[in-house]
Amino acid sequence: MISVSGDVYLIIGGNGFLGKVIVKLLIEKVHDISEVRLFDKVIQEDHVESLQALVGSRVKLTMFKGDLRDKEVLQKACQGVTCAIHTASVIDLWGKVSKEEMETTNVEGSHLLLETCIQQNVKCFIYTSTVEVVGPNIRGDPICNGDEDTDYISEQTTLYSKTKYAAEQLILRANGSPLPNGEQIVTSALRPMYIYGENSRFMLHDLDVGIINGNVLPRTSRKEALVNPVYVGNVAWAHVLLARAMKEEDKKRIVGGKFYYITDDTPHMSYSDFNHELMHFLGLSIPSKLPIPLLLMYFIAYIIDMLWLLIRPFIKSVPKQNRHFLMILNTKFTFTSHKARNDFDYIPLYSWEVAKEKTTTWLASVIQERREFLNKK
């Protein structure tokens, strides 16, 4: 176990896909935590019960139900906290969420949380960012095994990437800010690749699409458009290790104010082929080629985008595809985690073989339920 003395961890988004795993690893791997606090808009009772059974009386568990923009609840949640891990955000690549909602939650909410942490003498603040704050840019320029020093013309082309980048930067700039008790806050950000694993709603969506399509997964990305997804357990582990480094005098000076890409040994492949790799055993197949040439797909997406801008004020639905999403799916975009390993000893906790087994076991456990649900719709 990692040795930590009496720390109080606050996990914002603690009931979410990533937050749940961070909480579990903190309880299992970190010694002498006095309390773990979960802050989320929704608190699932079954999740709370499973955590209580895991910790017994060894660690105090506290739940805070609230919104990031609720100053009063944040003040209560942050009192006495040693380390805040901020995983919560509104994720939207399709334009379903309003600009106001994205900005007030992802940027203003993060800013309010940061200010509250500083007021309450929280020593460490970790922000869960995303590789999308880098790109791909509008030209689809590729990156092959990039790192934090890779020269790339980044363009945040969606509200999601813009708001995540804005929040990341304001949090990194706050590193070293004075606390009322005379100490300084240490802030860092993690930029994981596309996160997969048990309970991923994006994987469930892709599974549903394949079932609806007659057990055929749609090919939306070229085979050559390699990316390197990362298992949720390894992303959670990176948060735990970074929190440890922030407590050590020699390392907190290194990690403070920095961002880090988080990857693991998941094979590099396209998004479409990755889905097939994890779902083919369920009887789902995938075409070998895109249904139409990629340039034509971009042209159609462009026309749809233009039409949608004209009719958006009058309808609530949004297109299932857009140019930016096509760019993400069809651009080679891979990174390494060498800097995270050098600066705070990040080594993936789960191998690809274990991550694949855990993910496919979960998929096998839910497919019948998904088939029945979709048949009723």
| Residues catalogued as catalytic | 160
What does the buried/exposed string (b/e) look like for 154-193 if buried means 16 or more CB atoms within 10 Å of the residue's CB?
A: eebbbbbbbbbbbbbbebbebbeeeeeeeebbbbbbbbbb
Whether residue 217 contacts residue 286, with contact meaning beta carbons closer than 8 Å, is answered with: yes
- In this structure, are strands 195-196 and 230-231 parallel, antiparallel, or unpaired? parallel
Those residues whose C-beta lies under 8 Å from the C-beta of residue 360, and which sit 6 or more positions away, are 278, 281
Whether residue 82 contacts residue 10, with contact meaning beta carbons closer than 8 Å, is answered with: no
What does the buried/exposed string (b/e) look like for 42-68 if buried means 16 or more CB atoms within 10 Å of the residue's CB?
A: eeeeebeeebeeebeeebebebbebeb
Those residues whose C-beta lies under 8 Å from the C-beta of residue 351, and which sit 6 or more positions away, are 265
- Find residue 298's DSSP bridge partners: none
- Find out whether the peptide bond into 192 is cis, omega within 30 degrees of 0: no
What span, in angstroms and rounded, lies between the C-alpha atoms of 109 and 157? Answer: 21
* Secondary structure letter of residue 320 according to DSSP: S
